[in-house]
Amino acid sequence: MAPRAKARPSHPQPQPSDYETDAAPATVDVPLPPPRSNEELNFAVLSRVYPQLVAIEHVTPYAALYTFNLDAQQWEKVGVEGTLFVCQLAPSPIGVERYCVIIYNRRGLDNFYLDLTSSDDMEITDPYVILQGDEVVYGIWIFADPPPASTAHCRVETANKMMEIADRAKASREAKEREHKHDIREATEHVEAASSAPMGRQLSLRELFGQQREQDAGFSVHNHHSQLPLQQYPQQVYAMQNSGPAQQDVLGQLFMKAKQDYNGFS
């Protein structure tokens, strides 16, 4: 008879602790972020390098930068190639609109950046769009497929857009300059008006002395020829008219004595 197998003692299964329950990964569906357009991606990349960027006005897929060597009288490539962006920047502190052109360099870390301030500093030639910098003349070569491709007129379209943007910046700058001059002129006129007549219109010396002479002449005629009652005469004149010859003679002697004292004959 075969021996009976020993029964194994049953052990309860271990229960997961609260820590293990909390630490268990939760199966939550996280929605993916919405895809971004090329314009949004370009803006995100450029704004990290140029924080004052407001908007991208125009994009050209490929451009290469040249500078003009005055000594050799020829164009030289400077190693900046990539996508060209015409951008709007934040306004200046006085509110002038600002724009720029950027070539995001694929061959190095140095990008090309230049403010667009006036179309007078630009010229469209074949095969370059020429821009006048502070001390350097730049030539931008823009790739364009032969006709009838959609990019056949890319160079001319990009150049026209750059000139339009530059003229917009020039018009904004000139408008702010006119406003500034107008404010200065108004402030100057206000100060001059306030300082010239603080208490009303001032009389000239001729007007002032002319009025005084008229008052003196009127006073003389009034005292000697007027028929008005005596109570309207000044007190001194009234006293002289009511004084007798003796009193008038005494006054004459007093005046003579005062004149002699003044002249040093006393």
By three-state DSSP, how is residue 124 classified?
A: strand
Q: Are 141 and 127 a contacting pair, CB within 8 Å?
A: yes
Domain-located, residue 85: yes
Per-residue model confidence (pLDDT) at position 251: 58
Q: Are 77 and 50 a contacting pair, CB within 8 Å?
A: no
Domain-located, residue 216: no
| Same structural domain, 164 and 266 | no
Domain-located, residue 90: yes
Q: Which residue range forms the structural domain that includes residue 145?
A: 38-176
| Same structural domain, 42 and 162 | yes
Domain-located, residue 196: no
DSSP 226: -
Q: Among 176, 194, 209, where does a domain finish?
A: 176
Q: Among 149, 176, 203, where does a domain finish?
A: 176
Q: Among 158, 176, 194, where does a domain finish?
A: 176
Cis-peptide, bond into residue 93, ω within 30° of zero: no
Which amino acid, residue 265? F
| Same structural domain, 239 and 149 | no
| Same structural domain, 42 and 172 | yes
CA atoms within 13 A on the CB side of 220: 5
Tally the domains of the chain.
2
| Same structural domain, 47 and 151 | yes
| Same structural domain, 50 and 133 | yes
Domain-located, residue 184: no
Q: Are 57 and 99 a contacting pair, CB within 8 Å?
A: yes
Contacts of 66 (CB under 8 A, 6+ apart): 75, 76, 77, 78, 128, 138, 139, 140, 141
| Same structural domain, 171 and 238 | no
Domain-located, residue 48: yes
Per-residue model confidence (pLDDT) at position 97: 96
| Same structural domain, 136 and 59 | yes
> Tens-digit pLDDT profile for the chain (266 aa)?
555 655 555 556 656 555 555 555 556 677 777 777 888 999 999 999 999 999 999 999 999 999 999 999 999 999 999 999 999 999 999 999 999 999 999 999 999 999 999 999 999 998 999 999 988 999 999 998 888 888 888 999 999 999 999 999 999 999 999 998 888 888 887 777 776 655 555 555 555 555 555 555 554 444 444 444 444 444 544 444 455 554 456 556 666 666 665 555 44
| Same structural domain, 168 and 245 | no
The CA-CA-CA angle for residues 60, 66, 69, to 5°, reads 160
CA dihedral 152, 89, 55, 117 (to 10 degrees): -30
| Same structural domain, 152 and 238 | no
State the pTM of this model: 0.59
Domain of 153, CATH number, reads 2.30.29.30
| Same structural domain, 239 and 129 | no
| Same structural domain, 80 and 167 | yes
Domain-located, residue 134: yes
Per-residue model confidence (pLDDT) at position 15: 61
Domain-located, residue 154: yes
